[in-house]
Amino acid sequence: MKKLICILALTLSFNAFANDKDHHQGKTLHDQKCTSCHKDEVYSRKDRSVKTLSALQNQVNNCMKGAAKAEWTQSQTASVVEFLNDRYYKF
């Protein structure tokens, strides 16, 4: 039983570390590309157009192709979406 608890605790701690790493990558990518076009206030304004997680994903994809000209992998894009959702949107 102790062995099972130790394995479970290690697994959970690795997942937390991976999420922190992804969150950090998302913030870094966001700060490099997104803030060159707009500031953080766009995420918290009352009339924001993003109202679902799917809409957030679409908006990030549109920005990548447009002004940001970001050539991110799917994993990098997902980390930016996760960062924005965790920090601002909370869907």
CA angle at 39 for the pair 38 and 40, rounded to the nearest 5° = 130
| The residue type at 1 | M
pTM recorded for the entire structure = 0.72
pLDDT digits 0-9 by tens, 47-85:
888 999 999 999 999 988 887 788 899 999 999 999 999
- The reported pLDDT for the residue numbered 4 is 45
pLDDT grade for 21, boundaries at 50, 70 and 90: low
Report how far residue 28's alpha carbon sits from residue 79's, in angstroms, rounded to the nearest whole number: 10
Q: What are the residue ranges spanned by the domains of the chain?
A: 2-36+50-89
- The reported pLDDT for the residue numbered 18 is 46
Share above pLDDT 90 across residues of the chain, in percent, rounded to a whole number: 45
CB distance 82 to 23 below 8 Å: yes
